Amino acid sequence: MHDRERPVFMKRHTFVPARNARHRIAVLALYRSLLRTASSIPLPRDLHPKGRRHPVIKILRTRFAKNKPLTSLRLIYDSMTAGYKFLTLLTKGQIEKSPEHSEILRHLQKRNETADFSRLIHPHKKSLPPSKQWRNPPLLTKVSAPDEFPKYEPTVRPLPKTAFVGERKVPVFGHTAELMSFLRIKKPQPESLSRSLGAKTVRFRQTIQATKKVDTELVSAAASEDLWDDIVHRLLHQQGDTVGARREGPLESFRFSATLTKAWWEMKLLRFNEDWTARSEAISKLVEQERTLAKGEKQSGVRPTDPEVAKETLDQILAEYRRKQTESEQKTKESGTNSFQDPFASLRWLKKVKMVEIEELRINGPRQARQNKKVREFFGED
């Protein structure tokens, strides 16, 4: 007796609207029709000042942007149905003194009244431009020279007990999957820290991919280009054509360019490693300092700091940091030195290029012999 076969259930895949051609065409057609119809609705000057975008168009763009991430079939169907209903409403609203036109005017007036009331309760504070805003000091400051091994020191931490309220909380040392160290100071993790870690991780992974691409694609392509040049040069030489100038020396080959490219990306990876190592050492020292201070304050029984005193002390620390930063920027401006340094003109890179050139000249003999053999095989001489 055979066992009964179990029924096979098909797994339902998530509906992705952007990957459905029919849905995408229908949405774009509806979106364009709504914008075209809304722009033809006549409005008084108080609702549509001259030179401003039509308020109904602004509402439509906002609603479409809000519904863009939807993947639920029910919600997408409801949104499309509402869109077609509003298309009918806006079409009839193009006629002045019609019920639909009056309804649109009432909605816009109510919307403006709500916005005015909200601005009255929460007035907008005019902020300074980003160039003039005081930002929090960085956790670490680089103190080493450009051509030296990276070295970092804490900018303002560890803070004295009089600069904060409550007990001292020792920050937690953490690192990413790429072994990039960072410090957890508070919960939840600030969004700026997450963005910074994500951006650095992306740059590191892109550098690794670029280094791998040299071995998997560029080296073989460069060898083919060199072989093709040798073949073409020989054909031209046989015909007595001396117009085309041939590259002279192994350092002028495409393969050597690929070798230099790989050396550049490898040096960038090494710089990543050195920078992260220096940051990790500075963070470890900072955590140890914070732990020592927390232990001493707990044993001595220091009383909590008054909030006003803590705010005043912290403001003094930040003001001192900003003063030093301003003086440093002013000194750099007066000296006329440029903060930008060409990485291809650095002493480290020039030394690396010299070493690569020496290695290329050393192994050029056997490689050129193999290249000449391939050329002879192409012409059927071997």
Residue ranges per structural domain of the chain: 17-114, 140-313+345-377
Residues in CB range of 76: below 8 A, 6 or more apart: 15, 17, 23, 67, 70
| CA distances (Å), origin 45, targets 87, 102, 147, 330 | 23, 15, 64, 51
pLDDT confidence of residue 93: 92
Residue 3, class by beta-carbon neighbours within 10 Å (0-12 exposed, 13-18 middle, 19+ buried)? exposed
What average pLDDT does the segment 277-293 reach? 92
pLDDT tens, residue by residue, 208-255? 999 999 888 888 888 888 778 777 777 777 777 665 555 566 777 888
State how far the Cα of 230 lies from the Cα of 374, in Å rounded to an integer: 10
Q: Lowest mean pLDDT: which of 15-29, 32-46, 338-352?
A: 338-352
Phi/psi of residue 79, nearest 5 degrees: -65, -45
The first and second tokens of residue 288, run together, are 């140890």
pLDDT of residue 249: 67
Strand ranges (E), the chain: 140-142, 152-154, 172-175, 181-184
**What percentage of the chain carries pLDDT values higher than 90?**
30
Percent of the chain with pLDDT over 70: 85
What is the mean predicted confidence (pLDDT) over 78-85? Answer: 94
Give tens-digit pLDDT for 288-333.
999 999 888 888 887 878 888 888 888 888 888 888 888 888 887 7
State the CB neighbour count (10 A cutoff) for residue 208: 14
Task: Dump pLDDT digits (tens) for 173-219.
Answer: 888 888 888 899 888 888 888 999 999 999 999 999 999 998 888 88
- pLDDT for the residue numbered 161: 86
127-169: pLDDT as tens digits: 656 555 567 788 898 888 877 889 999 988 898 888 888 888 8
The phi, psi pair for 165, rounded to 5°, reads -100, 140
On average, the pLDDT of the chain sits at 83
pLDDT of residue 165: 85
- Output phi, psi for 119, to 5 deg: -70, -30
Of 95, 98, 111, residue with least CA distance to 55? 111
User: pTM for this structure?
Assistant: 0.60
Residue 119 confidence (pLDDT) above 60: yes
Residue of 366, 367, 365, 370 lying closest to 382 (CA atoms): 370
Q: Do 147 and 346 contact (CB within 8 A), yes or no?
A: yes
Return all residues near 262 (Cβ < 8 A) that are at least 6 apart: 211, 214, 215, 218, 219
Q: What is the pLDDT of residue 1?
A: 46
Give, in order, the Cα–Cα distances in Å from 26 to each of 16, 17, 279, 311, 376: 14, 11, 53, 58, 62
Report the range of poorest mean pLDDT among 76-90, 119-133, 351-365.
Answer: 119-133
Q: Which residue has the higher pLDDT, 23 or 5?
A: 23
Statement: residue 338 has pLDDT above 70: no
Q: How confident is the model at residue 12 (pLDDT cuts 50, 70, 90)?
A: low
Q: In terms of pLDDT, which residue wins out, 69 or 132?
A: 69
